[in-house]
Structure 1
Amino acid sequence: MPDENGRRLTSISDYYSAIQLRSDRWSALREAADRLAEIGPEGRGVVKAAQRVDALFEALAPIEVYWAFPGLHAFDHMRRQHEHKSWDELAFSVRRVVRALTSGAYRRRHVPLARDEADSEDIEDESTIPIEARALARPYFEVLIVDDLHEQQERWLRASLARMRRSEDPFIYEPVMVPSLEDALIAILFNHNIQAVIVRPGLRLKSQNTLPILTRYLTRIGNEDVDSLMPSQYAPELCRLIEKVRPELDAYLITDRSVEEIAGHDLGRCRRVFYNQEDFLELHLNILRGVNARYKSPFFTALKEYSKQPTGVFHAMPISRGKSITRSHWIQDMGAFYGPNIFLAETSATSGGLDSLLEPHGPIKEAQELAARAFGAKHTFFATNGTSTCNKIVVQALVRPGDIVLVDRDCHKSHHYGMVLAGAEVVYLDSYPLHEYSMYGAVPIREIKHQLLALKETGKLDRVRMLLLTNCTFDGIVYNVERVMEECLAIKPDLVFLWDEAWFAFARFGPTYRQRTAMNTANFMRERLRGEDHRKAYEAQQAELGEAPDTETLLDTRLLPPPNARVRVYSTQSTHKTLTALRQGSMIHVNDQDFKGEVEQSFHEAYMTHTSTSPNYQIIASLDVGRRQVELEGFEFIQRQVEAAMSLRRAIHTHPLLQKYFKVLTAGDMIPEQYRESGVSSYYDPEQGWADFWECWSQDEFVLDATRVTLAVGGTGWDGDTFKTKILMDRFGIQINKTSRNTVLFMTNIGTTRSSVAYLIEVLVEIAKELDDLLDDASKMERRAFERRVRSLVEDLPPLPDFSRFHDAFRCADHATPEGDIRSAFFLAYDEDNCDYLDLHGELKEAMSSGRELVSASFIIPYPPGFPILVPGQVISEEILAFMRALDVNEIHGYRPDLGLRVFTDEALARHASRTLAKAAE
């Protein structure tokens, strides 16, 4: 329904999430109510204005069922104000609601909506309240109660819980009541304030809500058959589904069934079962206790307590307690900038309850255990010097010299250096290339299986130790973790998996994302492999394959692992990159069935090797608090993060000026069709609206992380690095860190706001307008020059090179499989007499033309893309040289422009080859 200015309610199809829809509908209702109050009952346009308010109330009605504020009673009261034409009162009430929702005031205090009850029309914005005052406020949450109650029963239940409140309670909460299992699932996926769910025996199965944007949430529970449930199963099944969908939530089951009946059901993370009683005090205390279990941050609390102690410092670190700063006449500005607490909490002592990171027994140990629970791991270890160190720890702990490791070639450089330290024989796996955008995707499962089967055929499978993959990649390509693990275990049942999830720590707390995380998949597979259904499916597949299936058959079959396969999974996460933690705060998560018996000792040795004896306690505290945050509000923040990215996608897709110079790369652009079984090619289409990407995330071999928006900028005539540095950063203060030759990557995070997205769109529009003006005034030759620059960035792109091979001097004698000894090549280059430097554009080309086989003596890492295109011991190919010559980046790590490319001499290679052969003959 349009208003008097011709504006229409935006269509539901314009919104990716119901949260955005709710926020915008309330803002629109405020404007409409204000307009109606201004017009008055007899004013011009009153009919249209009233119809617009009616339409907005209708749009909000099915949404408000799932929220405690303003609540259905207040919502119905506002509708009656409208029906009675009390439009001044309506406008006042709606303004109060919108301000409270925007500011978060309803979380801190009761917000009266009637004019005669309100102490002030002004509601203070939370951002204006001093952080010290906000820290003293009791956190607010909502409790979902699932039961089909009539109005009188509902009022009694609310009143009974309200009477249990005490002034000493650490938190405050308000109830939200829904009647059915489906409504409960919609609520926990829609309302991020919900922290606990009370499941009562009177619930029904189906929701009466038909709003598509809400019922779409039901698809995210996966392939669950709830229609066949008996009424007696509704409550236990809901408890199980709550754990599947949002495992961080607490569930409480109230049942009138016997202990024996309920005991056999899977109740998920149900914290307490109440049998046929209404013990409201016990229920209230359990709710608070459950939330407090997630709110606890043992190390941060210990650090705060330490900072309050009067201490005489007689150890290292003059900065401890801030003494070297407060006594200084020259660095007082540092103390003023950081404030006193950071120095009061700084120490090198492990006493006073602060614990040791290397041998934790107190609050650090407890903090790591809480992190393991939060991320679904069996063990979690904190790191204060980044995920680069985490990667080296895991590799050193698990890989012995001579072990074969399969590694995606374009993984982070720390993995390559980890292979050197461990002495691994490396088989590099090639990702599929995206030549058009000068970037790589991910490694197809067929390529991984091909290498494993080749190693098996040559009798080397027993030496294969680990598969190392990046999930998700910097550009946002996410693996089907379950499929990779099950098919690899079918070939090598004790294979160890290291998933580099540096950019994926947030994924645990989004239901769609969680299914593709290492820890979630490990837990699922451990349970699945024990099941009778899996045993039967495995035996059936083995019978179908026969005793000696050929390689092509195995490559074409989705293989099932044997029931006795060992689930051995590690993931490393840069907590600081995607969650709240200080820089270099990272975690190692372990879900390895053989960790205790085989790995624990070597892991601790590796941890000791790489971890500082003087770790930064502020980083550890930030990891502790960051874990607390994501257990309590990670779901909300990640919803908003995805919403921000989707809004950016839609804005660029639909803006006619932006489409002239920019293109948002879709899943169809970044993932070849053969890896997208669902057929979903884009998350947003201007004609079709939003695609619910649950389907592709549940089945496709690769999917695209929606929180990353890769923008092709070749149409502007600027390469990615120039656009990043000279345009976005220097002119507009927009910071990004990933580019390719013709793209830039915008990464949303849990701190991204809708205002940030709006500013970015404004900047892109301004850039596009300037280009329009520039070309409008350009001469014929200037236009040609512009078109030539665009063509060089969009069409004339150098093909991305694959990994060539290791030189024979660094390979095993049979040369049947591609693994290479990267460690010996790395250390052979330590002797300068073994190396030579050849100019990239002269001597190197001449040497290759003469037939000489050139071998890199260094890691060569152009940035971007930021991973090695050459490693020590690798043969230099014509394709790699062509790619290097075409690079127009500022940094190529390992390459000396003044000297040239570092290569091994022929004599050094011959000597090393003879030593290798002699050693093999012994």
Structure 2
Amino acid sequence: MNLQSSERKLSSIRDYYSATQLRADRWSVLREVAEGLHSAEPESAQLKRLLLRAEELFEQLTPIETYWAFPGRDAFDMLRRHLNHGNAEELAVGVRRVARALTSGAYRRRRIPLGTDEVDNEDYEDEASLSPEARALGRPYFEVMIVDEVNEQQERFLRANLQRMRRAEDPFIYEPVVVPSLEDALIGILFNHNVQAVVVRPGLRLKSRNDLPILNRYLRPVGNEGVDDIDPHEYGPETCRLIAKIRPELDAYLVTDRSAEDIAGLDLGRCRRVFYNQEDFLELHLNILRGVNRRYKTPFFTALKEYSRQPTGVFHAMPISRGKSISRSHWIQDMGAFYGPNIFLAETSATSGGLDSLLEPRGPIKEAQDMAARAFGAKQTFFATNGTSTCNKIVVQSLVRPGDIVLVDRDCHKSHHYGMVLAGARVVYMDSYSLSEYSMYGAVPTREIKHHLLKLKAEGKLDRVRMVLLTNCTFDGLVYNVQRVMEECLAIKKDLIFLWDEAWFAFARFGPTYRQRTAMGVANTLRETLRTPEAAAAYEDQQKALENADEEAWLETRLVPPPDARVRVYATQSTHKTLTSLRQGSMIHVNDQDFKGEVEQSFHEAYMTHTSTSPNYQIIASLDVGRRQVELEGFEFTQRQVESAMSIRRAVSTHPLLNKYFKILTAEDMIPAEHRQSGVESYFDPEHGWSDIWEVWNQDEFVLDPTRITLAVGGTGWDGDTFKTKILMDKYGIQINKTSRNTVLFMTNIGTTRSSVAYLIEVLVEIARELDELLDDASKMERRSFENRVAALVEHVPPLPDFSRFHDAFRTDGATPEGDIRTAFFLAYDEENCDYLSLEETHERVKAGEELVSSSFIIPYPPGFPILVPGQVISPEIMAFMRALDVSEIHGFRADLGLRVFTPEALKTVVSV
């Protein structure tokens, strides 16, 4: 043991964003200190320093360990007694085993002996390194939080009685942890990701006596709930209600001495069972297991496993079914060896034998979709096996009729633009605010959406407006205030439909901070709030205040929706992008009050149109399993995903060498001040520490998803694409998706590890050092060349163009901007209607005032959104941007021919309907 390592500087609690990381690091340091104490010389100065350090660590861990079942209060107190009594060897052994068990997850699989008199020959291999077969043999572990103010003897009684109920045949194993108050329960469910069930007993108090700021931070989401005003007899029901609000996936059980009549009328959130006076421990135990098993079930995955074990004779399509075409082959045995037998045993085109049809689900697929709807807060959920691009087209086709007006985020995914073509929509493209300095767009301000709706209303076209389509969150991590957008839009048109493209946001449901800005979360909130007397009164008051008001007054006012507004919300999610699913596994979530009466049949037809009659069963099974995972550990994984991203932000922000060449873009960089009502500029500041992310997400019009880390790399002299390909991927094996002219985007996900974070920081430091050395040895001319490259990337960035307009041939009138994109798209099918012009010729003719019209989608990558769509007039600003582009990919543009435009003769023939 290196004694110096046990005396390394202890990071301040203030430096930690996450109490989970703090806990892990404090146990790691305590292990080093305990081993140092064991080997230190008696009466030495070093021994005294280590004793003080150990005391400090135990003081910091004491409030933290209150919320965890392992190692538990008794074991923790025993270790502290070893320190107080000078039992250095016992302390070192016990702390080492606890630290290793926490790091490896071994405490989930077996009992961890802490004394030197107990043999512990089993290894502490990390759970992730065990084979899937080995891990599948064990019983999943979780913890049950009991909320009750009891003394140590009573706590042991509760724990012992629950533990005594456990049986060898139980499918899961759990350990209880006892906390005394409502506030401690809320801290516990937000801090301890092992908790899957909460038992609320009548003896709890209201307030926590914990004064550790990093833990009290967890109470901020409920700071406006008014819990200080409730009476003691309400503590139990209120705890259940708040648990449902903060972590709706958890099971709660209430033990009460109040009468059944009193309890029956209360809001108990997702309380699954009420026990009167004194719980039956066996019944409680069985209910806890049943509740967890309800989330653990995977109907389709289980059916597919059962099918794979059945002996069958295959007389249908798919020679690969049961692996027959592979096992009989002399030439493709390597495929069978690579994938293993199970994937082929589970391949079939049959919908019988316990399986189901994706197009007409009535069995396990239907049950799996219903469970996904429960997990994601939807009323209906539909699986898709060919990506969110198809999901978007399904939703648009099912809701939009030819001639309907749709307000669309112009820089949304290209599938939406093609969906507008297929549906025959009249499209109003809305402009996001631009971030020209970084060659990217932000998001569409609420004011811009309201402006278009009010303009259409003034022109008598509001009845034709069908949908608002927005991306939440954007690829770059900008997240809308979804509730504000929907409330203000519904105040103008009360039956408006919303389609939120949440392709990159599926994980958000499982973090309390994120959930408040998800489509399904807000839809459920609106269903509750719109019908209240307070909402009706607020609407009536505002209508009186806005009577005879002009458009500017409406734009400046935070509008209130009418109490009879319809909640009609759809969300499409790429499960495979942010959660566990095979590639192209996606979901459509529906929360539409008019779905059953108005949409169900057309949705079914659109779903049949775009969904294969031979869907991949493995993708469906992975969606089923991915749902199970997020209901049981989505909260934990999402928290760790955020923690990893915050660690990167702090590391780069505080490293002097990295600051010379790199900059992580903050909320201030990516969101204009008028859209940041909180005034917060950055999630982490080296001088002031961490910002209150809950307050930011609760107030601001736009927020920045902390799991998206946009790194400005212009200071290195490399453009984003070169930095991604030549440096990160080719040299260091770091894979990323998106770049802009001078940025690269890093995304943490539920699979990101602390080791991956450390490697990324190491790579960036190495790149910065190499640049330092290169510039140290550079000649004057080489240095000037470097500075010129940096200036070209940082200072001389072409401005981003806004959407110009649709040509008059594709518009009904000039008063409002909607355009007939479908007619323009199909007009280009006839090559006689089109011509090609070089960029220079196009530029000169546009500059001279000629009206040229694009006949195709033009999509530079990066940034990856259309700067021209069929029927759009080519503006001077668009031409300036295209001429300044230095990207290798421009979809829809042929460098050998030029831009494809409509001929004047073709435009004269258009009859837009």
What is the CA–CA distance in structure 2 between the aligned matches of 1:373 and 1:181, rounded to whole Å?
26
Q: Contact 1:4/1:48 (CA < 8 Å) preserved in 2?
A: no
Correspondence list, 1:799-814, <5 A: 799-812=799-812, 814=813
Q: Secondary structure at the match of 2:564?
A: coil
Distance 1:226 1:688 in 2: 30
Kindly provide the CA deviation profile for residues 708-763 of structure 1, in whole angstroms up to 9, marking residues without a partner as x: 10000000000000000010000000000100000000000000000001000000
Matched-pair contact (CA < 8 Å) for 2:857–2:870: yes
1:137 match: 138
What is the one-letter code of the residue matched to 1:733? G
Distance 1:840 1:85 in 2: 81
**Paired residues for 1:167-206 under 5 Å:** 167-206=168-207
| Whole-angstrom CA distance in 2 between matches of 1:434 and 1:30 | 48
How is 1:288-303 mapped onto 2 (pairs within 5 angstroms)?
Answer: 288-303=289-304
2:19: which partner in 1? 18
Give the aligned residue type for 2:702.
Answer: F
**Aligned match of 2:793:** 793
Write the deviation string for residues 689-712 of structure 1: whole angstroms up to 9, x where unpaired.
111200010010000001010000
- Partner letter of residue 846 of structure 2? M
Alignment of 1:1-400 (within 5 A): 7-120=8-121, 122-400=123-401
Is contact 1:41-1:85 (8 Å) kept?
Answer: no
1:406: which partner in 2?
A: 407
Match of 1:688 in 2: 688
Q: Within 1, Cα distance between the matches of 2:7 and 2:688?
A: 24
**Cα distance between partner residues in 2 of 1:233 and 1:502:** 40
SS of equivalent to 2:174? strand
Counting only pairs closer than 5 Å after superposition, residues 530-549 of structure 1 correspond to structure 2 as 530-546=531-547, 548-549=548-549
**For residues 6 and 322 of structure 2, what CA distance do their matches in structure 1 show?**
63
Give a deviation string over 1:196-228, Cα, whole Å, max 9, x none: 000000000000000000001000225111111
Contact 2:321–2:348 (CA<8 Å) still a contact in 1? Answer: yes
Cα drift, residue 129 of structure 1: 2.6
In structure 2, give the amino acid aligned to 1:453: L
Deviates more, 1:276-285 or 1:733-742: 276-285
Q: Deviations over 1:303-355 (max 9, x none)?
A: 00000011111111111111111111111111111111000001111111110
- 2:843 maps to 1:865: no
Deviations 1:105-127 (A, max 9, x none): 10011111112123327333323
| Matched letter for residue 431 of structure 2 | D
Return 844-853 or 553-562, whichever deviates more. Answer: 844-853
Aligned twin of 1:655: 655
Equivalent position amino acid for 2:330 in 1: H
Q: Secondary structure in 2 aligned to 1:272?
A: strand
Q: Is 2:872 the counterpart of 1:851? A: no
Counterpart in 1 of 2:902?
904
Once the two structures are superposed, residues 609-651 of structure 1 have per-residue CA deviations (whole angstroms, 9 ceiling, x without a partner) of: 0000000000000000000000000000011000000000000
**Amino acid aligned to 1:181:** L
Task: Give the equivalent residue in structure 2 for 1:826.
Answer: 825
How far did residue 3 of structure 1 move? Answer: 7.5
> 1:678 aligned to 2:684?
no
Equivalent pair of 2:469/2:498 in contact (CA under 8 Å): yes
The structural deviation recorded for 1:804 is 0.2
For 2:692 and 2:89, locate their aligned partners in 1 and report how far apart those are by CA, in whole Å: 41
Runs (5+) with no aligned partner, structure 1 = none
Output the amino acid matched with 2:675.
Answer: Y
Q: Which moved more, 1:40-49 or 1:676-685?
A: 40-49
Distance 2:336 2:513 in 1: 44
In structure 2, distance between residues paired with 1:283 and 1:122: 34
Alignment partners' CA distance in 1, 2:41 and 2:504: 55
Separation in structure 1 between the aligned mates of residue 7 and residue 66 of structure 2, nearest angstrom: 30
TM-superposed CA distance for 1:5, in Å, is: 7.8
1:511 corresponds to 2:509:
no
Distance (whole Å) between structure 1 residues aligned to residue 47 and residue 189 of structure 2: 39
Contact 1:3–1:48 (8 Å) recurs in 2: no
- 2:876 corresponds, among 872, 875, 878, to 878
Instruction: Indicate the SS of the match to 1:739.
Output: coil
- Paired residue type of 2:503: A
State the shift of 1:261 in Å: 1.3
Which secondary structure state, in structure 2, belongs to the residue aligned with residue 680 of structure 1? coil
What SS is found at the alignment partner of 2:839?
Answer: coil
Shift of 1:867: 1.0
SS of equivalent to 1:66: coil
Give the match's secondary structure for 2:228.
coil
CA distance in 2 between partners of 1:128 and 1:694 (Å): 35
Structure 2 residue 611 is the aligned partner of structure 1 residue 618: no
Percent of matched pairs sharing the same residue: 78
* 8 Å Cα contact 1:146/1:178 also seen in 2: yes
Give the secondary-structure state (helix, strand or coil) at the position aligned to 1:45.
helix
CA contact (8 A) 2:6 2:33 kept: no
Contact 1:869 1:880 in 2 (8 A): yes
The answer to whether the 8 Å contact 1:142/1:194 transfers is yes
* 2:638 corresponds to: 638
Following superposition, the deviation at residue 40 of structure 1 comes to 4.4
1:495 aligns with 496
Q: CA distance change for structure 1 residues 32 and 655 in 2, over 3 Å: closer, same or farther?
A: same
What is the Cα deviation at residue 401 of structure 1? 0.1
Separation in 2, partners of 1:902, 1:573 = 34
Q: Which amino acid aligns with 2:650?
A: R
Q: Distance in 2 between matches of 1:739 and 1:4?
A: 40
The amino acid that maps onto 1:242 is I
Equivalent pair of 1:807/1:873 in contact (CA under 8 Å): yes
CA distance in 2, matches of 1:508, 1:41: 55
Deviation at 1:153, TM superposition (A): 1.2
| Residues 1:784 and 1:825: Cα distance change in structure 2 (over 3 Å) | same
Q: Tell me the secondary structure at the aligned position of residue 657 of structure 1.
A: helix
Shift of 1:848: 2.0
Q: How far off is 1:850 after superposition?
A: 3.6
C-alpha distance in 2 between matches for 1:6 and 1:37: 14
- AA paired with 1:605? E
Q: What is the CA–CA distance in structure 1 between the aligned matches of 2:520 and 2:280, rounded to whole Å?
A: 37
**Structure 1 pair 610–816 and aligned structure 2 pair: CA distance change class (3 A):** same
Match of 1:879, as an amino acid? E
- Is 2:6–2:36's contact at 8 Å kept on the other side of the alignment? no
* Distance change >3 Å, CA 4–CA 285, structure 1 → 2: closer
Which letter does structure 2 place at the counterpart of 1:768?
A
2:891 aligns with 893
**Secondary structure of the structure 1 residue equivalent to 2:318:** coil
1:278 Cα deviation after fit: 2.4
The 2-side partners of 1:327 and 1:532 are apart by: 71
Shift of residue 845 of structure 1?
A: 2.3
The answer to whether the 8 A contact 1:387-1:502 is kept is: yes
CA contact (8 A) 1:472 1:501 kept: yes
Say which SS state the counterpart of residue 227 (structure 1) adopts.
helix
Amino acid at match of 1:464: V
Residues 571-621 of structure 1 show CA distances to partners (whole Å, capped at 9, x for unaligned) of: 000000000000000000000000000000000000000000000000000
DSSP 3-state at the match of 1:761: helix
CA distance in 1, matches of 2:152, 2:853: 80
2:529 partner amino acid? R
Aligned to 2:579: 579
In 2 relative to 1, CA 217–77 (structure 1 residues): closer, same or farther, beyond 3 Å?
same
1:559 paired residue number: 559
Q: Look up the SS of the partner of 2:618 in the other structure.
A: helix
Aligned residue for 1:160, secondary structure, equals: helix
Amino acid corresponding to residue 556 of structure 1 in structure 2: E
Q: CA deviation at 1:45?
A: 1.3
**Residue aligning to 1:590:** 590
Decide whether the 8 Å contact of 1:856 with 1:875 is kept in 2: yes
TM-score, normalised to structure 1, is 0.98
Q: Give me the whole-angstrom Cα distance separating, in 1, the residues matched to 2:843 and 2:700.
A: 43
Counterpart for residue 765 of structure 1? 765
Q: Distance in 2 between matches of 1:278 and 1:905?
A: 81
Give the AA of the match of 1:208.
R
Bigger shift: residues 195-204 or 220-229: 220-229
User: Equivalent residue of 1:69, what SS?
Assistant: coil
Alignment deviations for residues 65-99 of structure 1 (CA, whole Å, 9 cap, x no partner): 00000001000000000111110110000110011
How far the C-alpha of 1:131 sits from its partner, in A, is 1.5
Q: How many matched pairs?
A: 911
Query: Partner amino acid for 1:602?
Result: S
Contact persistence 1:737–1:745 (CA under 8 A): yes
3-state SS, counterpart of residue 584 of structure 2: coil
Q: CA deviation at 1:43?
A: 4.0
